[in-house]
């Protein structure tokens, strides 16, 4: 799982969905990864600039991954950053399925997702754990990545795809995440 540029300043560039929604979905992804033992790579861009630091929630939910985050020096396509690419390849350990989300979809997600598909990965973008400056920017980003073979999903759809059955041990570990981070907030975001 790749969480790209979920930074306090970059969050302000996402105007097409409520910030609380993006944060709750990002928290859900972090908690989901922990519950299902999915490796996570965090990255940020220019934390000392307008983008700001990564969300504090990521530090508390994924402390080891937070400390190991790849701090990019402004490269917009994270996949072009050799340190990031190395961290992702190490975490993937030969696997080809990638789940990713980030801020913003129209810049930080569209290009690395396409680049990773070109390099043979099966990539899913969790669209509601990110946003863009406008809905049209988000729509064009989605059309662009889907045109290159990247799949789009939402947090609910991803969780149900990964779990399959709430009655299993995995399902019992994951259901509280779905309820606390997503379902309990239904209706809060318009």
Check 108, 109, 126, 163 and give the catalytic one.
Answer: 108
Q: Based on the residue annotation, tell me whether 108 is a catalytic residue of this protein.
A: yes
Asked if 182 and 28 count as a contact pair (C-beta separation under 8 A), the reply is: yes
pLDDT tens profile 65-74: 999 999 999 8
Single pTM value for the model: 0.92
pLDDT tens profile 79-89: 999 999 999 99
Question: Is 98's pLDDT higher than 90?
Answer: yes
């Amino acid at each position: 799982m790749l969480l790209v540029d979920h930074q306090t300043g970059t969050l302000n560039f996402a105007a097409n969905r409520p910030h609380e929604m993006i944060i709750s979905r990002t928290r859900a992804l972090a908690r989901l990864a922990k519950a299902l033992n999915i490796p996570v790579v965090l990255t940020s861009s220019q934390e000392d600039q307008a983008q700001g630091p990564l969300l504090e929630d990521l530090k508390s939910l994924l402390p080891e991954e937070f400390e190991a985050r790849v701090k990019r020096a402004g490269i917009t396509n994270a996949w072009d950053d050799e340190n990031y690419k190395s961290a992702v390849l190490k975490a993937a350990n030969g696997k080809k399925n990638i789940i990713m989300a980030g801020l913003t979809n129209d810049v930080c997600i569209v290009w690395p997702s396409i680049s990773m598909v070109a390099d043979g990965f099966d990539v899913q973008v969790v669209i509601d754990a990110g946003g863009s400056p406008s809905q049209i920017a988000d729509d064009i980003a989605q059309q662009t990545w889907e045109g290159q073979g990247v799949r789009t999903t939402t947090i609910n759809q991803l969780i149900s795809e990964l779990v399959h059955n709430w009655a299993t041990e995995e399902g019992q570990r994951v259901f509280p995440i779905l309820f606390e981070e997503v379902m309990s907030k239904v209706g809060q975001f318009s």
